[in-house]
Amino acid sequence: MLRHRCPNPNCPALKSPTAGFFKTEHSLQTHFGKSKGCFEHLIHSTADDQEMETEPALRNESRVHTEDTERDGDAYMPMESESNSANPTFRIEEFAGASLRYPVRVGTVWEKRKSKEAPGTHPYGPFRSAAEYDLAKWAVRTRQSLSSIDGLLNTRFASTHPEPLGFTSGDALRKLLESEAMPAPPRWKSAKIILHEIPDQPQTLYYRDLNEAIDYLFGNPSFAKSMDYAPQRIFEASGQRVYHEFCSGDGWWEVQSKVPAGTTIIPIILASDKTTLTSHTGGRMAHPLYLTLGNIRKDVRASIHRQAYLLLAYIPILSKIKQKLRNKTMKKNMPGILSKRLYHQCLSKIFSPLRGQKLYRAVDAEGFERETWRVLMSWIADMEEVWMILGLGHFVCPFCNARKNDLDSPNEFSPRTSTSVKQSIAGVRAAMIEVDGVERGSMEDTWSFAQAAKKAGLCGVEMPFWGWMDGDEAEVPVDIVKVMSYDLLHWCHKPFADYIVPWTQNIVDEEDGGESEIDLRLRLQIPRSGFRHFTNGISGFSQWTQGDTRDLEKEFLGAISGAPRATRQLLQATRSFLDYIYLATYPYHTESTLSQLDERTRSFEDTRPIYVSLGGRVSETTGEVIDSFLIPKLHIPRHITGCIRWKGTLDGSSTEGSERLHIDLVKEAWRASNHRDGHLLQMIRWVDLRERIDALELYLCWRDEVWPLEKAGEREGGGDGDGDGERERGEGDMVEKQMAAQKGWNVPDPILDNVDYSLNKRPHLPRTALGNVITLFEIPDFLADLLHYFETKSVSGIPAAFANLDVWTQFRILLPVPNDFMKPEWRRIRAQPAQKIFDTVLVNDGDAEVVGLQGYSVGELRLVFLQLLNETKIAPQGFTELERTTVGEIGGGELWS
């Protein structure tokens, strides 16, 4: 059912067969992204409504939403009258009096920039023409050196160009890019950080002002339709609580209750992780810190091209100490201890703008002023970084007070808090015996403190940067432990590859030196669309990538089922862990799914002793069986539901994002440097130039009504298409429907009526003889099926137009989702006779729902073709010959066609 309509009376989609209606809110928002006219109509109509209001100072956006109300602006909740059984209604409760904004619109940065342009002038900033701007863009994005640019400008091509360039050298081009005529990202600063223990080794911190960086992201107009300004509590029609975006968690709601009425909370989300710069030699590393905001919705944060993350700082790394130390143990361990102290001292400098903060007025992405309060609420990091941030030692739980020997205990432990960590640090210092001649803060004192702290489960940091955040100095206390996000990559997927897979291999594989049983079973799996076929098994993997792990998770349980020594309890333990992974990655949680997640976690803890009893959990060094599970990553899952309730679902908090940011903002910057001393300054300068170019590019797209963001998101979501000649179906119109509509033909309901799909413009097998199709695709009953089809259309026989068919061997389908909270997924479907690949599909028999298998039949896709009939004016939009099995007959394998 097409139930969302564009409000613009001049919408170009009104002339399409869909008459301006869209099936889902996602499609409507995509339409707004493509049509700037419709987007501006929505903004102006909202502004007109605001002018009619009579509130004297601030506009209150908060209210309680019920099934009969929609959200303002970019609503994505269906009203009760619009809902159906597959898309339940929701009740949204927003915090009363939260997120007020001033009624007078001051305008966005883009609108202010456009207002300064004189009539008849070009919009390319310091550049004279579009060609000159394109050259500058090419030079920055391809990391051209100044000498390379000089070489290009000295060629006859440049000197004889009909439009003389406004710069004659690479240095002149760089000055133009750094001029005030270009959009300016937050400025970079530097600070000398001196540790008391090594005053002769000052370290340089490169960073941006935190408030400037927040304002830059908060006021970015490209996020205007993807922002949340107030906390919400969402409930299904049944009354179940729903957890989805960051604003749906309890954390934002609690912080909102501690600030003055009308304040807009800006949740600060940080991500940090060390990364290598050199590939094989050199040992160069960087420690970037990234910033994003919880106001920005998670699908935008997850799309790297949307630039929702900002590089906030390069934290210095202490590699060695010049001082002579008294023994080898100190020489080995002291650099690590001082590195942690340096890390906290740098973060104290970065967070200094938040100390003693008051209400801070900022312009939002829609051009309205708001009184804001900035709060650190999430930090995405791997286990090593989490321990360092919290000031903890290794092999302890960051969320509760379980020590190393407690990690496999079934007992519950008290929650860890900022206060408890500070008390432990103070207890260590109080218990230390003062030694004559040892100055507080000296190398010897720090070493003694670190050794005592290690015994208390601490890392040796005495003054954590967050020490003031939950004290009397903070008006809004922050518990740093609750800030730590649950990392899907390192705490869900990597434990599967690091523990579950090798333990299972030790159990299942034969010991006679022959081929691995698991490798054999993986090779024998039938190739399927959307699933990786492990042609060579997995024994040869020396390092697991993120993609490798995810692909194996889909195949592993089926591969080991029925294997020798794969007992029922082993399968149950493996399935429990896989269920935990998939439930953890849900983009939409209810109390029911959280209960299932807790149940699967307990099930794994109950069944995992099978890895010991069958000899799977063995030491890599001695080969002896280990009869305990003192592994932090296998203890942490018991805390996962608390993290989801506090900050929303976990698909928006994974170090996968920071790993990808390393490529764009660190490794690319490193390649643009000369790889010598001072390379960080060169990297920062390149990042600054790129951000200026990207900001100007976004402005030009908005100004010229060319909006690439949503299109890029569609490409990112469907990366398995053919590429050449491919087009998206888009807003419910299909290639064949448009062709038929132009000729005035009658178009029957499509086979894929409730989904979008993508089809190449050019068929893979154009104008193929019908007889060859039957032979090639091995469908002997195809003629009979065609005759039956045309009988239902009151057509006698098979029309002559079907003598030759346009055939596709694959297409992409956008899988339906149960509600508007979840993002649709593209899936490639294949019928490729050369490779003997005919994908299995679910066929809607007419009354099926999005969730569950009732009303579906299971079939095998044999043929995809398209043929338009001039003679009968009937345009069938596709046909598939299926050998089908009803859902109830899967076990018996009875086929019927």
Q: What pLDDT is stored for residue 220 in this prediction? A: 95
Residues in the chain: 897
Question: What is the spatial distance between Cα 78 and Cα 819, in angstroms, rounded to a whole number?
Answer: 9
Q: What pLDDT is stored for residue 30 in this prediction? A: 59
Q: What pLDDT is stored for residue 61 in this prediction? A: 41
For residue 811, what are its two tokens?
């297409």
Does the pLDDT value for residue 96 go beyond 60? Answer: yes
CB contact at 8 A, 203 and 322 = no
For residue 410, what are its two tokens?
């079934």
Kindly report, residue by residue over 511-522, the tens digit of the pLDDT.
655 678 999 999
Q: How far is CA 270 from CA 140, 277, 335, in A?
A: 27, 21, 25
223 falls in which pLDDT band (50, 70, 90)? very high
Does the pLDDT value for residue 290 go beyond 70? Answer: yes
Does the pLDDT value for residue 331 go beyond 50? Answer: yes
Lowest mean pLDDT among 322-326, 395-399, 547-551, 724-728: 724-728
Q: Taking the C-alpha atoms of 748, 750, 756 and 758 in order, what is their torsion angle to the nearest 10 degrees? A: -100
> Rounded to two decimals, what is the model's pTM?
0.80
Does the pLDDT value for residue 49 go beyond 70? Answer: no
Kindly report, residue by residue over 559-602, the tens digit of the pLDDT.
999 998 899 999 999 999 999 999 999 998 999 999 999 999 99
Which of 499, 535, 808, 485 lies closest to 633, judged by CA?
A: 499
Q: What pLDDT is stored for residue 289 in this prediction? A: 97
CB contact at 8 A, 763 and 866 = yes
Does the pLDDT value for residue 16 go beyond 80? Answer: no
For residue 182, what are its two tokens?
């270009």
Average pLDDT over residues 26-43: 61
Residues 6+ apart with CB under 8 A from 646: 249, 250, 251, 482
Question: What is the spatial distance between Cα 725 and Cα 19, in angstroms, rounded to a whole number?
Answer: 27
Q: How far is CA 389 from CA 21, 342, 344, 653, 809, in A?
A: 50, 12, 8, 17, 52
E strands within 72-177? 90-94, 100-101
Q: What pLDDT is stored for residue 799 in this prediction? A: 85
CB contact at 8 A, 694 and 712 = no
Does the pLDDT value for residue 209 go beyond 70? Answer: yes
711 falls in which pLDDT band (50, 70, 90)? very low
268 falls in which pLDDT band (50, 70, 90)? very high
Q: Residue 65 forms beta bridges with which residues?
A: 92
Average pLDDT over residues 86-108: 83
Does the pLDDT value for residue 109 go beyond 90? Answer: yes
Q: What pLDDT is stored for residue 183 in this prediction? A: 92
- Tell me which of 729 and 333 has the higher pLDDT: 333
Average pLDDT over residues 167-194: 93
Q: What pLDDT is stored for residue 23 in this prediction? A: 54
Q: Specify whether the backbone of 282 is left (phi greater than 0), alpha (psi in -120 to 50) or beta.
A: left
Average pLDDT over residues 857-864: 88
Does the pLDDT value for residue 324 go beyond 50? Answer: yes
Kindly report, residue by residue over 761-794, the tens digit of the pLDDT.
888 999 999 999 999 998 988 888 888 888 888 8
Report percent pLDDT > 70 for the chain. 80
Go through 88-100 and write b for each residue having 16 or more CB atoms within 10 A of its CB, e for each that does not. Answer: bbbbbbbbeebbb
Which of 66, 374, 355 lies closest to 237, judged by CA?
A: 66
Sign of the Cα torsion 30, 35, 39, 41 reads negative
Kindly report, residue by residue over 471-516, the tens digit of the pLDDT.
777 889 999 999 999 999 999 999 999 999 999 999 998 665 567 8
726-727 and 756-760 beta bridge pairing: antiparallel
Question: What is the spatial distance between Cα 549 and Cα 551, in angstroms, rounded to a whole number?
Answer: 5
- DSSP H helical ranges for 143-207: 146-153, 156-159, 170-177
Question: What is the spatial distance between Cα 531 and Cα 552, in angstroms, rounded to a whole number?
Answer: 9
Q: How far is CA 294 from CA 251, 399, 448, 764, in A?
A: 11, 21, 41, 45
Q: What pLDDT is stored for residue 191 in this prediction? A: 96
Q: What pLDDT is stored for residue 717 in this prediction? A: 36
Please calculate the CA angle 128-132-133 and round it to the nearest 5 degrees.
95
Q: What pLDDT is stored for residue 44 in this prediction? A: 55
Lowest mean pLDDT among 47-61, 63-77, 393-407: 63-77
Does the pLDDT value for residue 398 go beyond 50? Answer: yes
Question: What is the spatial distance between Cα 817 and Cα 850, in angstroms, rounded to a whole number?
Answer: 7
Which of 512, 517, 504, 494 lies closest to 618, judged by CA?
A: 504
Does the pLDDT value for residue 815 go beyond 50? Answer: yes
- Tell me which of 793 and 670 has the higher pLDDT: 670
Question: What is the spatial distance between Cα 737 and Cα 746, in angstroms, rounded to a whole number?
Answer: 10
Q: What pLDDT is stored for residue 436 in this prediction? A: 57
Average pLDDT over residues 307-316: 95
- Tell me which of 855 and 617 has the higher pLDDT: 617
Q: What pLDDT is stored for residue 639 in this prediction? A: 96
186 falls in which pLDDT band (50, 70, 90)? very high
